[in-house]
Structure 1
Amino acid sequence: MKLAFFDTNNDGHHWFYNSELMINLAKQQSLEIIYITREITKEQVLVLKRNDIEVIKLDEGNNSKLLTKNFFQQFRFLKDYHKAHNIVKKKKIDLFINLYFDRYIIQYFLINKKIKTINVLHWVPNNKIKIKILSYFNNKRDIFVVHTGDAKHKLNKINEKIEVTELSYPVKNHSGYNKLSTLSLGIDNLKGKSLLYFGGTRYDKGLDILLQALRLVESNINIFIVGKEDTFDKKFIENEILDIRPNIKVITKLDYIPEEEVLQYFDRTDGVILPYRAFFNGESGVLTDALQMGKPVIVPDIIHFPKIINQYKNGIIYKVENVEELAKAIDILATNYDQYYLNAKRASVEIINNRSSSNFAAKFYDIINLVK
């Protein structure tokens, strides 16, 4: 059976998710795999080729500033999707797997296609146009894959005709990675617990909410802000922390973090904070990494987050976008850390066993067999 996987992005969690899934599936002798993509490094190509996965790279095209605007982005996505489907026809592919359907909902309905498709949806869209399009979907041949029960419920609420399969997000293999030194992370000689905000400083991830909450925190803590600058830049962060109390130290590393280094930051800190806004709507790779690394977490009461915390007792839930409650949660974690840490470690063992990349791929293979 010939499979074509499609995603133009191979940064961060994209690369981990895509490569682990394809490499594990490639072990099935009955499958022949090609990967249609655009932004991919030579090293990444070599990794896939060593596992008998053919890589087809789309043209880079125009990278002008116009592509940052939504209309031009959608046009670019349409071109990429159209090229991918031409390749699928030429290669006589049996099954097309869109690894990031979130980006191509509009394009999916614009392009006439006859091939069977699995659409992986990491986020349930908030965009009214995309929701409307999904509500009209009536193709029983294709399957949608989501990663939380909450996402499955929302998708079925939009359109009960959609066939949705829930598959928990895989966790990384964290054995044997090279740990960063305390000096390189800036953790040496710090007092109190070190808590991590990880990921791009986008508006939906609520870094500004966290910075406001720090003004009210009474415990001795260190906050690590690690990730690529986005909505909230370095200047904004520096201005926000000018008047925080001396018991709090903020350390920033505002750069893109290579995937092979991600877990090192979770390993070297004591807990993780997710100050996300109410409209955040999808699986969180940050939460997944915190869970597998056995780190206590502070999460808002949105989507599936409370269900996880209530199940494992490995963190604290606070009212979303409530600065006072977030500050209180940080103080509670700092004061009662050992209790949450032990629970987080127990949860880690279960999650690693159940959600390994190989188990994830095996379950995905079962889905592939449903649409043969």
Structure 2
Amino acid sequence: MYLRDLSVKGHHQIYQKSLSKIKCTILQNDELELNFKKDGIKYFFKISNYLKKIQTEDVHYLTLDFLYKYPLIKKLNKNRVVIGTLHKEPNNYLKKILLKNFSKKISKIIVHSEFTKVELNKIGILNVEVIEYPSFYDYSKLKKEDLKKYEKLEEKIVISCLGGTRFDKGLDILLEAFEYMDKNIKNKIVLNIVGKEESFQRDYIQKISKKNNINLRERYGFVTDEDFLKNVLLTDIMVMPYRKIFGGNSGPMTEAIVNKIPSLVPKEMNIGLLTEKYDLGETFEAENPQNLAKVLSEMIEEKKEYFKTEYDKKLTLDNFLKKHEELYRNENSLCSNR
């Protein structure tokens, strides 16, 4: 089974390397920059040429999210197994039609939650397999108490927003929410922002933080795995203030779940449904800073206990690899003969 991806950057790398541990796989990294605004019609030719690269082997496309948008693709890899992993649910009617068309050309679509599977089933896409996105990290050498003591945050409630400051991740919504919070509650909080400066730059973040009296801990730029793990464990509440256009799973939320850290997420999204079903934290009205402020304040004041289910056990790397290997075998790929 060939493993193919469009990038080797960031989380793509650890995802690829983990799956390549399965004995019957062959990792084939591809560097393909896809940007419709920049490429125009060439965008579709790039996808077409890329999909024609392997026509004689079983293949698993690790990022299907760009590939399905090519409307004229014919049956892929005749008499071979073709699997694709979809990381984000289509957020408009046209994309849903394109994905449905593409789904007929391949064997299976992998998604990372039951809720995404249900949404795809609703539009007639039935060849869907759920394999939960895991935590790829080992936290065993770190202790939350030691980290908070080192950072002098023992008496503070650390609210973290981790990852690049993209528009769709809604950092500005979280910053605005502090305007509607009681001063006494704000004094208990340290807002921990860690990641690459993107849509929202540090000058903007610092300006709004000063205006809304936010105690800010900020770390910008490239984040090593070690620093990422430390910032996860420093966290008391992980906040995902994502806009509705985000539409995917959340890496920081996965890390919060495996460490039993409650999350605060938009209720209208996949991660909101997941949070409510498995008791992983609280939900708020998407893109509503006032409601976000209200729910966050209640979490801090009420100190409710979460994680009454064992959903975190689904997010292990062993489970992730086991499910992929089973899928490869069930689809009669090369794995079935090894």
TM-score by length of 2: 0.84
Residue 96 of structure 1 contacts residue 117 of structure 1 at CA under 8 Å; is this kept in 2? Answer: yes
| Structure 2 residue 167 is matched with structure 1 residue 203 | yes
Distance of 1:259 and 1:75 partners within structure 2: 36
Q: How many residues align?
A: 325
* 210-219 vs 7-16, which moves further: 7-16
Q: Secondary structure at the match of 1:79?
A: helix
Deviations 1:4-30, CA, capped at 9 Å, x for gaps:
11112233332232222221x12xxxx
* Alignment gaps of 5+ in structure 1: 39-57
Post-superposition offset of 1:214: 1.2
Post-superposition offset of 1:352: 4.4
Equivalent AA in structure 1 for residue 5 of structure 2: D
* Partner residue in 1 for 2:61: 98
| Structure 2 residue 120 is matched with structure 1 residue 155 | yes
* Partner residue in 2 for 1:371: 331
Residue 83 of structure 2 contacts residue 106 of structure 2 at CA under 8 Å; is this kept in 1? Answer: no
| Structure 2 residue 95 is matched with structure 1 residue 135 | no
Q: For 1:35-46, what aligned pairs fall within 5 Å after superposition?
A: 35-38=27-30
* Partner residue in 1 for 2:233: 267
Q: Secondary structure at the match of 2:274?
A: helix
* Partner residue in 2 for 1:215: 179
Q: Secondary structure at the match of 1:251?
A: strand
* Partner residue in 2 for 1:82: 49
* Alignment gaps of 5+ in structure 2: 333-338
* Partner residue in 1 for 2:335: none
Post-superposition offset of 1:164: 0.9
* Partner residue in 2 for 1:72: 39
Q: Secondary structure at the match of 1:100?
A: coil
Distance of 1:205 and 1:150 partners within structure 2: 20
Deviations 1:272-295, CA, capped at 9 Å, x for gaps:
011111232121222111101111
Residue 119 of structure 1 contacts residue 145 of structure 1 at CA under 8 Å; is this kept in 2? Answer: yes
Post-superposition offset of 1:189: 5.2
Distance of 1:236 and 1:186 partners within structure 2: 28
Residue number among 124, 136, 159 corresponding to 1:172 in the alignment = 136
Residue 13 of structure 1 contacts residue 259 of structure 1 at CA under 8 Å; is this kept in 2? Answer: no
Post-superposition offset of 1:249: 0.3
* Partner residue in 1 for 2:249: 283
Equivalent AA in structure 2 for residue 35 of structure 1: L
Q: Secondary structure at the match of 1:316?
A: strand
Residue 140 of structure 1 contacts residue 162 of structure 1 at CA under 8 Å; is this kept in 2? Answer: no
* Partner residue in 1 for 2:297: 331
Structure 1 residues 239 and 333: CA distance shift in structure 2, 3 A: same
Q: Secondary structure at the match of 2:11?
A: helix
Post-superposition offset of 1:125: 1.7
Distance of 1:80 and 1:179 partners within structure 2: 45
Equivalent AA in structure 2 for residue 315 of structure 1: G
Post-superposition offset of 1:268: 1.5
* Partner residue in 1 for 2:321: 361
Equivalent AA in structure 1 for residue 108 of structure 2: I
Residue 267 of structure 1 contacts residue 293 of structure 1 at CA under 8 Å; is this kept in 2? Answer: yes
Structure 1 residues 233 and 242: CA distance shift in structure 2, 3 A: same
Post-superposition offset of 1:77: 7.6
Structure 1 residues 333 and 74: CA distance shift in structure 2, 3 A: farther
Q: Secondary structure at the match of 1:317?
A: strand
Equivalent AA in structure 2 for residue 195 of structure 1: I
Structure 1 residues 135 and 258: CA distance shift in structure 2, 3 A: same
Q: Secondary structure at the match of 1:215?
A: helix
Residue number among 188, 197, 204 corresponding to 1:236 in the alignment = 204
RMSD: 3.0
Residue 137 of structure 1 contacts residue 161 of structure 1 at CA under 8 Å; is this kept in 2? Answer: no
Q: Secondary structure at the match of 2:249?
A: coil
* 290-299 vs 162-171, which moves further: 162-171
* Partner residue in 1 for 2:10: 12
Structure 1 residues 326 and 161: CA distance shift in structure 2, 3 A: closer
Distance of 1:203 and 1:282 partners within structure 2: 14
* Partner residue in 1 for 2:288: 322
* Partner residue in 1 for 2:215: 249
Post-superposition offset of 1:197: 0.4
Structure 1 residues 77 and 198: CA distance shift in structure 2, 3 A: farther
Structure 1 residues 68 and 260: CA distance shift in structure 2, 3 A: farther
